[in-house]
Amino acid sequence: MAAGTPATVLLTRAGVAFSLHPYPHDPRAEAFGDEAAAALGVPPEQIFKTLIAIVDGTLVCAVVPVAGRLDLKALAAAVGGKRAELADPAAAARATGYVVGGISPLGQKSRLRVVLDSSAPSFPTVYVSAGKRGLQVQLAPEDLVQHARAQLAAIATA
């Protein structure tokens, strides 16, 4: 796995049980999470997208179901901030070391604070980007929380 993504290398080194799910990525796709859900036949509530936001000037990683939207006010409140907005895609890529559409909450270049939507533990496993477009990693939500050093909070809306 040494040739894997930083996310898969982290999970392998930690001895975490996970499975990889590659799918053909369409370069014209704009909704990467929706594309993954459709390609893998997984409910969009069980696939989580990674969004990078700025809360009071600090980058924060938000992980929410593809079926929902990020509630920026809830994210700000979860990290003790006042105001949140989505980060510029170039800044998100620089901070995480991943390309937009392939940003994983695991193995990021800069250790960002990670907030995972509180719906994740309702599933035996969840899917998140494995660190590149067209590749999802399936793992137990508690392993995601532990290895992304995530906090759980209700940060998604329908």
Domains identified in the chain, total number? 1
Q: Please give the residue range of the domain that contains residue 46.
A: 6-157
Contact 54, 87 (CB under 8 A): yes
Confidence band for 158, pLDDT divided at 50, 70 and 90: confident
Q: Work out the average pLDDT over 61-72.
A: 96
Residue 62, pLDDT above cutoff 50: yes
Q: What are phi and psi of 13, to 5 degrees?
A: -60, -35
**Would 40 be classed as within a structural domain?**
yes
Helix (H, G, I), strand (E, B) or coil at 117: strand
Which of the listed ranges 3-7, 34-38, 142-146 does the model predict with the highest average pLDDT? 142-146
Q: Report yes or no on 1 lying in a domain.
A: no
CA 101 from centroid of its chain's CA atoms: 10
For the cut 90, the answer to whether the pLDDT of residue 29 exceeds it is no
Give the pLDDT of residue 138.
98
Residue 104 lies in a domain: yes
Reported as a single tens digit per residue, the pLDDT across 117-135 is: 999 999 999 999 999 999 9
**In contact, 157 and 69? CB cutoff 8 Å:** yes
Q: Can you spell out the DSSP letters for 10-70?
A: HHHHHT--EEEEE----TT-S-HHHHHHHHHT--TTTBEEEEEEEETTEEEEEEEETTSEE
Whether 15 is covered by a domain: the verdict is: yes
Asked, for residue 143, whether it belongs to a domain, the answer is yes
Q: Is 123 helix (H, G, I), strand (E, B) or coil?
A: coil
Residue 51 sits in a domain of what CATH number?
Answer: 3.90.960.10
Tell me the pTM.
0.94
What is the predicted pLDDT for the residue at 2? 41
The answer, yes or no, to whether residue 25 has pLDDT greater than 80, is yes
- Give the mean model confidence (pLDDT) for residues 104-122: 97
